[in-house]
Structure 1
Amino acid sequence: MSAAPLIPPLQSEGQVLAEVNGCLGLITLNRANALNALSLAMIRDLTALLKAWAAAPAIEAVVILGAGREGKPAAFCAGGDIRFFHQAALAGDKALEDFFTEEYALNHLIHAYPKPYIALMDGVVMGGGMGISQGAKLRVLTEHSKLAMPETNIGLFPDVGGGWFLAQCPGSSGEWLALTGHAVGAGDAIALGLGDVFVRSGELPIIIEAFRRGEQPSAEHVVATVMERVDLAAPADDLELRRRIDLHFSKPTVLAICESLQAAGDAWSMETLATLRKRSPLMLAVTLELIRRARKLSLAEDLRLERDLVHRCFHLRPGAASETVEGIRALAVDKDHSPRWNPARIEDVTPAMVAEFFASPWAPAEHPLRGLA
């Protein structure tokens, strides 16, 4: 019997590839020239595939990976398509709202997926890439893996469930990752609960070839295909800083964190302070509040809150006045790397400014993610 009926019609014009081998459904993000950043069509294809395979008894496990480019560094997925965010926000395009509603619903689907879902997180894994990998039953990292939630760099906040999964990190490391956007490698990611196993990148082609061509009779065999090549010696570099991270990033406000770093005065503290001073002061405060609230929320509650926040990011100050639109302009459109944040100083952010973001624009029965359990 042909496996073709197991693959629903896809709309992303080759940006998502799907294959079936035995009991395995294999997904390849195939937008390598954009570091496999997610478009709305890709999100819809991923959702359609995962729902179809969840309902198909013949499929017992799913693997997702990112397409590579010859001679270029690997990228699993660098996030969402931020240029699309910029264009859609300025044009008042309804697809922007659809993007976040459908992306967050996909993130929830992955976390709750009823079959083993394995993410091969080689290379860059940022933003939306974290959203489609953190819910995996097996998160596979290599020496090239670089995990980050860098949204504050564009006047946004760590979304795609980032409030929830960063809040699960030990100590105050979630606040550190959320506010600075710092990228961590495989060993640190595993220690922080953001990855599960380390496989050397040279082993990945063998694993992927086995997924594509080898016999895959059961979910257990799919998992074993990875586990037999796991290396226990994952590299680590940043976690000796944990004491300092906890000391500074446990402070109650962004300003208090900055004052603590300034008082410490060592090279790492001053470099970290300089990073924070480049970010949107307002969105730093929103991000810190999100992480602190998310520690008491379920994933579904966090995603609903993030959906409120992202709506506010684009609509409290519409168009070019949005911190997010300005951040994307400076980083990816004009590329002048000189965003004009409002307010410009951390000292000038008020609690009332932050509170506006946390007021839901929807009644509970009308919330676009009301169906998440």
Structure 2
Amino acid sequence: MQLLPLPAVLNDIIATPKGHIGVLTLNNPERLHALTDEMIQLLQQALDQWRSDDSIVAVLLLGDGHKAFCAGGDVRSVRENAQLSRGEYCEYSEHFFEAEYRLDYAIHHYPKPIVVWGEGIVLGGGLGLLAGASHRVVTPSSRLAMPEIGIGLFPDVGASYFLNNMPGRSGYLLALSGSVFAASDAIYGGLADYCVGDESRAQFIEQLYQASWVDVAKDDSAEKNSLILSDILSTMAVSAGSSWLAADQLEIDQLCDGEDELTIIEQLLSYNGSSETLLTAVAGLRRGSPLSARIITRQLLASRGKSLLDIFSSELILATNLASHAEFQEGVRALLVDKDKNPQWQHQSVVAVSEDELSAVFTPHWNCSPLEDLTRHDD
């Protein structure tokens, strides 16, 4: 008998003696659990259902296996659908990014504690899921990045918010270089809360069984159950090691200092110091899309001090415009379709990017943001 394929998101319940834990497992192993439209919808449906379910005291989100949590959004599908629009505005892209951002925003403001288990590879949209959780877990094997400059895009999923909240200008360096960083850097940068041992999920789940959860009907249940999770994870914590971001912080702040996008980019490109990590980062900037570099820096500078909802709204404009852009089409082709890793960018340098081009990608196709109905919070 042929078995039916498993769902793209496995939905389960851990029934403990004191309360239930909702468990969502990403199940797209061929693409390292990259988020498809279907997966986004399944995650949102489960969170919406559990929000008002008094038997659910907390949520655990993880990836199947230990190799990856989530390698980002399924940009290959975005590219394929956008190609059908022949360079014109693509409604599928708007739908995809809107749904993804709604999910991320829901995680940021979920009324019950959410643990995101960021073991292994955590890229792009995966970091968007991690960043909004109440309990953000990484392990020594975690390898994180916002690599969008390499595909002609920009760090989205709320990155304009959380990269600006990192120490100094370290978020600018990660965005402009696509640099890979480790658990120690995630914790130093405020993108993760706990480092626990690799393959320690079974131990964590055993601790969930033993916990004395507070009934959701009580007014302070979310706060108390959150403290229970914090105690469990603190007890399990291991050393994350040293952070290269911390070690290079002074130079990063000097290189990324300024209020002008071209100045920041050119300061980075002119780096000739001795730090191997910074030299690698600058090499990533050189390989990346010059158009993306300009968009990334402009978006980060413009997003400072803005609310998370306003930032998601501005990111939605950029993402939907870039999905049909030749730069994104070429970047995804080179990295993920043909895999020759030799993108032919439209510009040879950042100074060649015109103001008209930049203005076009920052201009919305709507009078009212599709995210306007979301509830505003004090961020």
Same-fold call, TM cutoff 0.5: yes
Query: Secondary structure of the equivalent of 1:158?
Result: coil
How many angstroms apart in 2 are the aligned matches of 1:271 and 1:224? 38
1:227 aligns to 2:220 (yes or no): no
Matched letter for residue 327 of structure 1: G
Q: Which of 162, 185, 190 does residue 165 from structure 1 map onto?
A: 162
Which residue pairs with 2:59 in the alignment? Answer: 62
Letter in 1 for 2:124: G
Count of aligned pairs:
349
Q: Deviations over 1:204-263 (max 9, x none)?
A: 33113554x6666443545444332123x2212312111111111123445433543454
Q: Deviations over 1:104-132 (max 9, x none)?
A: 01111110101101111111111110111
Q: Could you say what the CA RMSD is over the residues aligned between the two structures, in angstroms?
A: 2.0
Kept in 2, the 8 Å contact 1:185–1:235? The answer is no
Partner of 2:370 in structure 1? 368
Compared CA separation, residues 222 and 242, structure 1 to 2 (3 A): closer
Question: 282, 289, 302: which one pairs with 1:280?
Answer: 289
| 2:20 aligned partner, one-letter code | C
Partner residue of 2:47? 50
The answer to whether the aligner puts 1:247 opposite 2:257 as a matched pair is no
Cα separation, 1, equivalents of 2:180 and 2:283: 16
Q: 1:194 aligns with which of 191, 204, 208?
A: 191
User: What CA distance in whole angstroms lies between the structure 2 residues aligned with 1:178 and 1:221?
Assistant: 34
Task: Name the aligned partner's letter for residue 303 of structure 1.
Answer: F
Name the aligned partner's letter for residue 91 of structure 1: L
Aligned to 1:90: 83
Q: Confirm or deny: 8 A CA contact 2:94 2:316 kept in the other structure.
A: no
SS of 1:327 mapped into structure 2: helix
Matched-pair contact (CA < 8 Å) for 2:265–2:293: no
Partner Cα distance (1:258, 1:54) in 2: 43
Q: Find 2:317's aligned residue among 296, 308, 311.
A: 308
* Structure 1 counterpart of 2:106, from 109, 127, 136: 109
Q: Which residue of 2 aligns with 1:132?
A: 129
**Counterpart among 248, 270, 273 of residue 266 in structure 1:** 273
Q: What letter corresponds to residue 187 of structure 2 in structure 1?
A: I
- Which secondary structure does the structure 1 equivalent of 2:254 belong to? helix
**Where in structure 1 do 4 or more consecutive aligned residues deviate above 6 Å?**
none
SS of the residue aligned with 1:120?
strand
Which of residues 182, 189, 192 is equivalent to 1:185? 182
Within the alignment, does 1:81 sit opposite 2:81 as a pair?
Answer: no
Whether the 8 Å CA contact 2:313–2:371 is kept in 1: the answer is yes
Secondary structure in structure 2 of the residue aligned to 1:330: helix
Q: CA offsets per residue over residues 66-113 of structure 1, 9 Å max, x none?
A: 111xxxx62111101121122111123643321111000111111010
Displacement, 1:13?
A: 5.2
Paired with 1:202 and 1:308, the residues of 2 have a C-alpha distance of 39
| 8 Å contact kept, 1:24–1:222 | no
- Taking structure 2 as the reference length, the TM-score comes to 0.86
CA distance in 1, matches of 2:24, 2:98: 22
SS of residue paired to 1:189: helix
> Does structure 2 retain, via aligned residues, the 8 Å contact 1:77–1:129?
yes
Distance 2:56 2:241 in 1: 34
CA distance in structure 1 between the partners assigned to 2:300 and 2:82 by the alignment: 25
Give the whole-Å Cα distance in 2 for the aligned partners of 1:216 and 1:13: 32
Whether the 8 Å contact between 2:125 and 2:157 is mirrored in structure 1 is: yes
Q: Is the 8 A contact 2:58 2:112 kept in 1?
A: yes
Mapped partners of 1:270, 1:209: distance in 2: 44
Deviation by residue 1:147-200 (Cα, 9 ceiling, x = unmatched): 211111100000111111111111111110111111211111111110101111
Percent of residue pairs identical: 35
Q: Would you say the 8 A contact 2:178–2:284 is kept in 1?
A: no
| Structure 2 counterpart SS, 1:60 | strand
Structure 2: state its 5+ residue gaps: 215-224
Change (3 A) 1:253 1:153: farther
Change (3 A) 1:343 1:186: same
Q: Give distance in 2, aligned partners of 1:222 and 1:58.
A: 17
